[in-house]
Amino acid sequence: MLFNGLLCLLSAVGLHEFYRMGLPASRRSEASLGVAAGTVLAGLIMFRLEGSLVLGLAILLMFGLMMVFLFRHRQIADTAREIGVVLLGLAYVPLLLSHAGLLRSLPMGHLWIFSVLFLVMASDSAAYFIGRSFGRTKLYPAVSPNKTIEGSLGGLAGGIIGLLIFSLLFFPQLRIVDILLLGAVVGLFSQVGDLFESLLKRSFGVKDSGSLIPGHGGILDRLDSLLFAFPVSYYYVIWIYGG
């Protein structure tokens, strides 16, 4: 319950940052409604209500938000983009982040959560240091000019090594195939998550998602890799281990 509550709080803060980047100040009321809807959506998913009920309530939330825009349009030419930003925010932050709560609810869920955290931190650290030391070939300069292919490959190797160390210390139930597959696939998707947030920030014309963490940007700047890592890990566990 406490963990899910923390995730709901993080969803609210992350959505607030997202809408502040993507919506004009005149849409502050709609942004607040989107934050409330996203927090409710995260709770509905994590507290594992019956599937059709969750889907129905999620659709009602979306209908409500779209009706607000229908009757509160300002510049009609901008309305479709603004609605798209609101709905993308719901998919990007609470929908993805709520998978951390779903992963925590599985058998040995706390170990799976720490596995993902350890893997992503090891991958990020290895990518940074190897990229700084040996990086020569740009990975995707249009989106993130400082990232290199060498750093990316180093991050994948670092994620596998990090997960191996974690399994030896805390999670002996992990098989070598789990370490290799999760280390590579989750490491890859964590890098994609980082790149995707960089794309969003460039599209919105901002450097950081927020200023909540001095010197490190906002919550989304800290969660970008994890937003993609948690869903991949959750579906791996339920498909391979049956939940």
Question: What is the residue extent of each domain of the chain?
Answer: 1-105, 108-243
Max Cα distance, the chain (Å): 58
How many CB atoms neighbour CB 170 within 10 A?
13
The phi, psi pair for 55, rounded to 5°, reads: -60, -45
What is the identity of the amino acid at 192? V
Find, among 202, 200, 199, 193, the residue nearest to 222 by Cα.
193
pTM of structure? 0.92
CA distance 131 to 149: 8
Q: What is the pLDDT along the chain (243 residues), one digit of tens a residue?
A: 899 999 999 999 999 999 999 999 989 999 999 999 999 999 999 987 666 788 888 889 889 999 998 888 778 888 999 999 999 999 999 999 999 999 999 999 999 999 999 999 999 999 999 999 999 999 999 999 999 999 999 999 999 999 999 999 999 999 999 999 999 999 999 999 999 999 999 999 998 887 776 666 899 999 999 999 999 999 999 998 875
Strands (E), 81-199: 138-140, 144-148
